Structure 1
Amino acid sequence: MTDGIVRVPGERAEEYRRRGWWQPRLVTDVALGSAPEYPDRCAVVDAGHRLTYGELAATVEAAASRLRRLGIGRGDPVLVQLPNGLEYVITTLALIRLGAPPVVALPALREHELDHVLSVTRPVAMAVPLRSSRFDHLAMAERLRERHPGIRMLLVTRADGAAAGEGVPVRADLADLTSLTLGGVVPGVDAPGGPLHAADEAPEPPGPRDNALFLLSSGTTGPPKAIPRPHEAFGHVIRSAAEVSGLSDSSVYLAVMPASHSFVLGHPGILGTLSRGGRIVLDSPDDPRRTLALVEREGVTHCALAPAVLLQWLAAAETGEFDLSSLRVLQVGGARLDPTTARRVREQLGCRVQQVYGMSEGLLNFTRLDDPDAVVDETQGRPSAAGDELLVVDESGREVGPGETGELLTRGPSVLAGYYGEDETNARSFTADGHYRTGDLVRLHPSGNLVVAGRVKDVVNRGGEKIPADELEAVVLTHPGVRAAAAVAMPHPLYGEAVCLFVVAAGPPPAPAAPTLRELRRHLEDKGLARYKLPERLVPVESLPLAGVGKVNKVALRAEAARLVAAERAARR
C-alpha cells in the first residue's frame, strides 16, 4: 500500500503490462487522442453549445492551468459532484490532467454518504452546483467544509466570488475556470496578484501508474467507498469497453444518466466515446420526450440506461412521433433487464440491446452485439476485458459447477486491489490470493455469459440505485418515535423495487404511535440521507417477526410487503 492505495502485486502487475493490457498512457491522452488529428471534429454537445476536439483539449489544458493557479496540485484530491454538462466534463478531465484525482460523486448523494467519503479521501476542494433539482448544494458543501477543514475552497457554478486572504478564493466560479472563451481572464486567478503566476514553472505531470481518479462504490454495504483507478488500469477498462460496445468515430453517445456514474463516465460512456473519436451529447433523464427529440436531432447511436428510465423511453416512444432510426445500441445496466422489455426495445425502438453487468470496482460484463437474441434477453454478459478472471463459489468458498448459483469472485487487470483507506473492509472483501468478493449471486449460462441472481447481502435495488437495508435501518432508528425497524424490497411498477419499512413504535404504553411516512421521510432527509433511499411505504407493526437465532425474518416481511402491494393494486381495479 502507498498513500492509502492498495497496489496489484508486482508479478501480476508486470504481467498485465507485458501483455499490453496496462499501457503507459494517461487517461486524458486516451480520451483526447483524436484532438491533434481531428481538431475540427465535434466532440461534445450540451444545451446548444458545441465543442470541437481542438477546443475541448485546449479548454481542458487552460482549466488545468487555472486550477493549478488556485493552489490545486498533483496529488490533491477534489470532490466533483456536478450534474451532466460541459463544466463536469471539463473539470473532471482538467483535474485528471493536472494529477489532482477527482472524486466523482453522484449529485444525489447527501451529507450522510459524503461525510465518510470526505473523511477517507481528504479532498482540498469541492466542485458543486449552486443548486440542483431544487437542492441547495452550496449550503451542504459549506456545512461539510466546516466538518472537514482540509477543504480549502469550493468550486461552484455561479459562485459569489467571496475571497479570503492572499488572493486565494474561498469560492471560485466554475463557469470562469472552464470558460469556453479561451484566453479569458479569471478574476483572482489569472491576475498578477493571484497565488500563482503564469510564469511559474509547470509541475511534473502525473505518470501512468499514478491514480487518475476515485470512483465511488454503489454503497451496498454502507456509505460509498473510494475506488482508486490508476491511469493504466482505467485506460484498459475504457479501451476494452469501447471495443465491445461497437464505438467508432461515427458514434454519437447520449449521456443521459448521471455522468459521475462509472457506467456513463468510462464504462465506456463519455471517455470511451472520446477515445474512439465519437461525439458526446449531454442531457438529463428528467423529460423522456425531450430526450427522444434530442436523439432524433443529434442522430444518437449509443446510450446507456437503467431499466427504470428505459421504461419511460418506451412509453414516450409509443406515439411514434420521434425518428429514432439512428439508434444502434442501447446499453442497459444497473439492474437486471427482464426479457419482455428487451424484446420491446427491439420491436419498438429498432435497435440492439446490450445488457451490461458491471461495477465501479472494475469488472465489466457485456452481452455481445452478435449474441443471439435469446442470450441477450436472458443473460448479463461476459467480461469485456482480456485477463479478467471469474470464480463462482458456494458459502464455504468452493467453486460451484456450471449452472449452479454462487457468489462471484473476480480479479484481473480491470479490478481494483483494494478500497482506498479501508483496511478492515479490504480484509473482508478480498481473498488471500487477491480475488474481489462482489457480493453478487450469479450462475454461468451455457453461452458462457453470466446470469445475475441477486445479492448475498440484504439490499434494495431501486431502479439501479442500491440501498443497503442495514444502513437505512440505522438512520431510521435515530427517530425518537421508532424502537425497531426493518427495511425490505417491495415490488414497484417503475423502479422494479422500492423500500417498504416495517416500524415498531417507541413510546409509552399501551398504544405508542409510530411516525407517519411523511414525518419519517422528513427526518431522514434532515439526517442527510439521499432521497432515493427514502422508504415509499411504512407499515407499523407491534413486533418484527424473528427466525433462527433471533434474526429478523426478512423473508416473511418481503412476502408481506408484496401482499400489501398486490392487494392495493387489486383494490384499484
Structure 2
Amino acid sequence: MAEKAATTLHALIRAGSDEATALSSPGGVPLSFGALRALTERTIVALNAQGIGRGDRVGIVLGNGPEMAAAFIAVAAGTTSAPLNPAYKADEFAFYLTDLNARLLIVAEGDGSPAVAVAERLGLPVARLHPTPEEGAGSFTLSFGDMPGGAPARGGPAEPDDVALVLHTSGTTSRPKIVPLSQRNVCASACNIRTALAFTSEDRGLNIMPLFHIHGLIAGILAPLAAGGQVSCTTGFNALKFFGWMSEVRPTWYTAVPTMHQAILGRASRNAEIIKANPLRFIRSSSSSMPPQVMQEIEAVFGAPLIEAYGMTEAAHQMASNPLPPRPHYAGSVGIAAGPEIAIVDEDGEPLPAGETGEIVIRGDNVMTGYENNEAANASAFTRQGWFRTGDQGTLSEDGYLRITGRLKEIINRGGEKISPREVDEVLMDHPAVSQCVTFAMPHDKLGEDVVAAVVLREGESIPEKDLRGFASERLAPFKVPAKIVFLEEIPKGATGKLQRIGLAEKLGLA
C-alpha cells in the first residue's frame, strides 16, 4: 500500500479517496479527504503569504472538535504546529509561547482566551479562525488582521525532517522540556498505530481525547486517517453525551485514558441497547495504567477487547501495544513493541535478559532525535547505543510482553494528565507566606494519582489551605492545582539532606 511510505502529513492525508469521509462531528456535515487536502493546501498558501513557512512555530489555542483536528493537520503540513491547552492561565501561555519562540497564534473568532492578551503583550501576531461547518466538519478560514505579510524563508509543504509538532513535556528537576517531533516521527507513529490496530477505510473513530495531547493527535486523529478511515470529533469527553454520540456516529472503536473508560462504564448499564446495537471492533486505552478489574468489566460490558497501549510524547505517542485477537492481550501488560524497538537496561545502559527489572528504553523512526536546546537533558536521555531512556521501569517477558513496574521520574500522572511538581512548587513559592514547598503524588482511587503539596510557612505567617489553593488556581490550569496542601514545621529530607518527593505520601500518612 502506497500510504505505508508516508513521511509527511501532506502525504499521509492522501490515504483516503476524494469522496471518502475524513472528519465528521456529531450533528455535522462530513468533510471528505478531498476537501481536507484542499483545506490543507489553502492553509499552507495563506500562512506562506504572511511570511510563515516550514519550521516556523504556530501556537494553536482551540477547543476540542473538528476545527482543532483540521487546523492541527493543515498547519503542521506546512509549518510547525504547537497546540496548547485552552485551560492554561496567562502566565502559562506567556511561558509556553515565549519558550517555543512562536511566530503566530491561532485562536477561534470571538475567543476571549488570555492567550490573546499575552500574544499582544509579546508582540505576537494573532490569526482568527472562522469555522465554516456548512462546508464540512472542521472546515475553516483564517483572517490575519493587519499582519504585514511577506515571503517565508521556506514555503510549500513540509519535508520529512522538518519539525511538524512541538509539545512540552513536564520535568521534575528542571523547567518543562521542548519535544520537537519531525514529520517523519509523527507519520511513523501514526502508521505504527494503524498497523497495530489493523485500521482500514471502513473504520470510524469517535474522538473524545483532548487535541493538545500527543495521544489524541496521533492515535485519535492521524492513525485512522492514515488508513483512509474517518474520525468523528467531539467537543471533548462527556460521559453524559458519550452514548448519544455512539448511537449517532456508530463508531468501530474509540481511544481514551482509564478515568474516561471508568466514567463510561459507570453509565453503561442504562445504555445496554445502544451498546448492543453498535458493536465495537475494539476499545483502546493509553496514557496511564488500566486497573485489571476495570479492563475485565469493560470487555464483559462491551463484548470487545480492551487494547492497552504505552506511549509518551518523546516517541510521538505509541511505543508498545497489546495485539488484537486472536493473539493474547493481558491485563497489567502494555503489550509488545508496536513500532520502535524496546529493551530493558541496567543503570549503565546495558541490556538485561527477559524477566529482569530495569529501565525501559526505545529507538525507532517515531522517536525524537533530542530535546530542543537542552544538551544536559539529551546527554542523560540517550544511552551510548542510541536508545532513548523512558524514565519508566519494567520487565519484558520471553514472548516480548512489556510490564511497567513503576516510574523512575517523579512526574505526577493525574488521570493521564502529566504534571511537573517543580512547576507547582514555583507557583506556591511565589506566595509571600511560603518558605518551602515540595509537590508530590498522592494515590487516588479513580485518577491513579492526585497532586499534593507539603508547605513550610515563613515564621509568623499563617494562611488557610483554601486561600493558598485559590492562589495556585489563579496561576495554574485546574488539573495542576493541589487537591490537598499539608502544612509542616519541616519537610522530611533524604540521607543527603535533599527534599524528596518519592515516598513523601507514605511518610506523611497520605498513601
**Same fold, judged at TM 0.5 (above):** yes
User: Deviations 1:26-65 (Å, cap 9, x if unpaired)?
Assistant: 212212331xxx3222221124222122222222322333
The whole-number CA distance in structure 2 between the counterparts of 1:532 and 1:182 is: 27
Cα 1:341–1:457 shift into 2, 3 Å = same
Q: Secondary structure at the match of 1:378?
A: coil
The whole-number CA distance in structure 2 between the counterparts of 1:443 and 1:29 is: 37
Cα 1:293–1:182 shift into 2, 3 Å = closer
Quote how far apart the aligned CAs of 1:109 are. Answer: 3.9
Indicate whether 1:368 and 2:323 are aligned: yes
1:65 pairs with one of 45, 49, 53: 45
1:525 pairs with one of 436, 454, 473: 473
Quote how far apart the aligned CAs of 1:225 are. Answer: 2.6
Q: Which moved more, 1:115-124 or 1:533-542?
A: 115-124
Quote how far apart the aligned CAs of 1:84 are. Answer: 1.9
1:310 pairs with one of 254, 261, 286: 261
Indicate whether 1:384 and 2:359 are aligned: no
2:288 pairs with one of 312, 315, 335: 335
- Whether the 8 Å CA contact 2:394–2:404 is kept in 1: the answer is yes
Cα 1:178–1:105 shift into 2, 3 Å = farther
Which residue identity is paired with 2:187?
G
User: Deviations 1:56-101 (Å, cap 9, x if unpaired)?
Assistant: 222232233333334423332101132222221222222233x211
- Whether the 8 Å CA contact 2:13–2:37 is kept in 1: the answer is no
Which residue identity is paired with 2:71?
T
Cα 1:464–1:288 shift into 2, 3 Å = same
Which residue identity is paired with 2:291?
D
Runs of 5+ in structure 2 lacking a partner?
Answer: none
Cα 1:485–1:459 shift into 2, 3 Å = same
What's the % identity of the aligned pairs?
26
Cα 1:310–1:68 shift into 2, 3 Å = same
2:220 pairs with one of 253, 266, 269: 269
User: Deviations 1:204-235 (Å, cap 9, x if unpaired)?
Assistant: 44322322222333556554432222223322
Indicate whether 1:289 and 2:201 are aligned: no
2:383 pairs with one of 424, 427, 431: 431
Q: Secondary structure at the match of 1:551?
A: coil
Matches within 5 A, 1:199-238: 203-219=155-171, 222-238=174-190
Which residue identity is paired with 1:340?
Q
Cα 1:182–1:356 shift into 2, 3 Å = closer
Matches within 5 A, 1:56-455: 56-97=36-77, 99-129=78-108, 136-137=112-113, 139-146=114-121, 148-149=122-123, 151=124, 153-155=125-127, 172-175=128-131, 203-219=155-171, 222-266=174-218, 268-324=219-275, 325-362=278-315, 364-370=319-325, 375-385=329-339, 388-455=340-407
Which residue identity is paired with 2:484?
R
Which residue identity is paired with 2:493?
L
- Whether the 8 Å CA contact 1:285–1:291 is kept in 2: the answer is no
Q: Which moved more, 1:358-367 or 1:398-407?
A: 398-407
Which residue identity is paired with 2:309?
V
Which residue identity is paired with 2:304?
C
Quote how far apart the aligned CAs of 1:400 are. Answer: 3.0
The whole-number CA distance in structure 2 between the counterparts of 1:345 and 1:94 is: 36
User: Deviations 1:86-140 (Å, cap 9, x if unpaired)?
Assistant: 221222222233x2111123334444544444334311111234688xxx52x23
Quote how far apart the aligned CAs of 1:442 are. Answer: 1.3
- Whether the 8 Å CA contact 1:216–1:227 is kept in 2: the answer is yes
Quote how far apart the aligned CAs of 1:518 are. Answer: 2.2
- Whether the 8 Å CA contact 2:31–2:135 is kept in 1: the answer is no
Q: Which moved more, 1:254-263 or 1:62-71?
A: 62-71
Runs of 5+ in structure 1 lacking a partner?
Answer: 1-19, 156-171, 566-573
Q: Secondary structure at the match of 1:361?
A: helix
1:461 pairs with one of 389, 409, 413: 413
Quote how far apart the aligned CAs of 1:195 are. Answer: 5.5
The whole-number CA distance in structure 2 between the counterparts of 1:559 and 1:311 is: 26
Quote how far apart the aligned CAs of 1:141 are. Answer: 3.2
Q: Who is 1:44 aligned against?
A: 23
Q: Secondary structure at the match of 1:547?
A: coil
2:458 pairs with one of 506, 511, 530: 506
1:545 pairs with one of 492, 496, 511: 492
The whole-number CA distance in structure 2 between the counterparts of 1:252 and 1:184 is: 22
Quote how far apart the aligned CAs of 1:555 are. Answer: 5.6
- Whether the 8 Å CA contact 2:25–2:234 is kept in 1: the answer is yes
The whole-number CA distance in structure 1 between the counterparts of 2:337 and 2:87 is: 29
The whole-number CA distance in structure 2 between the counterparts of 1:248 and 1:439 is: 34
Q: Secondary structure at the match of 2:331?
A: helix
The whole-number CA distance in structure 2 between the counterparts of 1:57 and 1:356 is: 30
User: Deviations 1:290-334 (Å, cap 9, x if unpaired)?
Assistant: 112111221111111111111100001122355123322211111
Looking at CA atoms only, which structure, 1 or 2, has the larger radius of gyration? 1
- Whether the 8 Å CA contact 2:130–2:142 is kept in 1: the answer is no
The whole-number CA distance in structure 2 between the counterparts of 1:448 and 1:120 is: 39
Q: Secondary structure at the match of 1:227?
A: strand
Quote how far apart the aligned CAs of 1:556 are. Answer: 5.4
- Whether the 8 Å CA contact 2:45–2:156 is kept in 1: the answer is no
